[in-house]
């Protein structure tokens, strides 16, 4: 793949992944914790008696969505950093999307 094709392809992938993370960030505000927990499959590592770096992340994201930072850090120490990165990405994605829509709307008027 040529670099001229790579950049637009990466933008499309970033936009799709950003939309997915936006949905993940908004789920704790829309769905009760018990409901979402029933949708999340058990961690294969945990079933084998081991832990992984993502164990407790669902609980931590719920706790962060209600402002319980100490509880979230207790559930998973990496959760706050990942949550902040996802929120910053969401803000950038939203801005880029709004600018693109505004430009598209401006061209449609002409």
pLDDT tens readout for residues 35-63: 877 887 888 888 888 878 888 888 899 99
pLDDT for residue 83: 94
Per-residue pLDDT at 77 = 93
Can you tell me the distance from the alpha carbon of 28 to that of 92, in angstroms, rounded to the nearest whole number?
21
Model confidence at 17, pLDDT cuts 50, 70, 90, reads very high
Rounded Cα distance between 86 and 66, Å, is 16
Contacts of 69 (CB under 8 A, 6+ apart): 63, 80
Is pLDDT of 106 > 60? yes
> How far apart are the C-alpha atoms of 99 and 101, rounded to whole Å?
5
| 3-class DSSP state of 91 | helix
Structure tokens at 88: 């910053």
Query: What is the pLDDT, as a whole number, of residue 1?
Result: 59
């Amino acid at each position: 793949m040529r670099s001229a094709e790579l950049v637009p392809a990466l933008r499309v992938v970033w936009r799709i992944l950003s939309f997915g993370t936006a949905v993940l960030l908004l789920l704790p505000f829309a769905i009760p914790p018990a409901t979402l927990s029933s949708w999340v499959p058990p961690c294969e590592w945990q079933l084998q008696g081991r832990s992984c770096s993502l164990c407790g992340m669902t609980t931590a994201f719920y706790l962060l969505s209600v402002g319980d930072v100490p509880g979230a850090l207790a559930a998973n120490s990496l959760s706050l950093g990942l949550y902040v990165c996802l929120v910053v990405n969401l803000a950038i994605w939203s801005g880029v999307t709004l600018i693109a829509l505004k430009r598209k709307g401006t061209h449609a008027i002409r």
